[in-house]
Amino acid sequence: MVLAITPSPLPQILCKPNNSMNQHTHLLCCLNQCTDMLQLKQIHAQALRSTLPNHPDTLFLYSRILHFSALNDLNYAYRLFDGIHNPNSFTWNTLIRACARSSDSKEQAFMLYKRMLEQATVLPDKHTFPFVLKACAYLFALHEGKQAHAQMLKLGFQSDVYVNNSLIHFYASCGCLESAQNVFEKMSERSVVSWNAMIDALVQFGEFESALKHFVQLQNFSEPDGYTMQSVLNACAGLCALSLGMWVHAYILRKFDDNVAKDVLVNNCLVDMYCKCGSLDIALQVFERMDRRDVTSWNSMILGFAMHGKAALAFEYFDLMVRTWKLIPNSITFVGVLSACNHRCMVNEGQKYFEMMVSEYNIEPQLEHYGCLVDILARAGLIDEALNLVSSMPMKPDAVIWRSLLDSCCKKNASVELSEEMARQVLESKGGDCSGVYVLLSRVYASASRWNDVGLLRKLMTDRGVTKEPGCSLIEIDGVTHEFFAGDTSHARTKDIYQFLEVIEERLDSVGHTPDYSQAPMVDELNDGKQQNLRVHSERLAIALGLLSSKPGMPIRIFKNLQVCSDCHKVAKLISKIFHVEIIMRDRVRFHHFKDGFCSCMDYW
User: pLDDT tens, 564-593?
Assistant: 989 999 999 999 999 999 999 999 989 999
Report CA torsion sign: 451, 457, 460, 462: negative
Query: What local confidence, expressed as pLDDT, does residue 292 receive?
Result: 95
Give the whole-angstrom CA distance, residue 139 versus residue 358.
28
Give me the helices (H) in 327-482, please.
331-342, 347-359, 367-379, 383-392, 399-411, 416-428, 435-447, 451-463
Amino acid, single-letter form, for residue 594 = F
**Per-residue H/E/C for 242-256:** HHHHHHHHHHHHHHC
pLDDT in tens, 261-291: 999 999 999 999 999 999 999 999 999 999 9
Q: Give the closest residue to 422 by CA, choosing from 436, 442, 411, 407.
A: 407
Give the whole-angstrom CA distance, residue 570 versus residue 597.
9
Q: Give the closest residue to 562 by CA, choosing from 537, 543, 588, 540.
A: 588
Of the pLDDT bands very low, low, confident and very high (cuts 50, 70, 90), residue 8 is: low
Question: Quick one: DSSP state of residue 124?
Answer: -
pTM for the model stands at 0.88
Q: For residue 126, is pLDDT > 70?
A: yes
Query: What local confidence, expressed as pLDDT, does residue 543 receive?
Result: 97
The answer to whether the beta carbons of residues 340 and 354 sit under 8 Å apart is no
Query: What local confidence, expressed as pLDDT, does residue 523 receive?
Result: 41
Cβ neighbours of 398 (radius 10 Å):
18
pLDDT in tens, 190-232: 999 999 999 999 999 999 999 999 999 999 999 999 999 999 9
Of the pLDDT bands very low, low, confident and very high (cuts 50, 70, 90), residue 10 is: low
Residue 598: its H or E element: strand 598-599
Question: Quick one: DSSP state of residue 24?
Answer: H
Question: Quick one: DSSP state of residue 134?
Answer: H
Query: What local confidence, expressed as pLDDT, does residue 239 receive?
Result: 93
Q: For residue 533, is pLDDT > 50?
A: yes
- Residue range 162-188: average pLDDT? 97
Task: State percent of the chain over pLDDT 90.
Answer: 66
The answer to whether the beta carbons of residues 130 and 166 sit under 8 Å apart is yes
Q: Which residues contact 193 (CB under 8 A, 6 or more apart)?
A: 161, 165, 227
Give the whole-angstrom CA distance, residue 412 versus residue 417.
14
Domain boundaries along the sequence of the chain: 398-469, 472-599
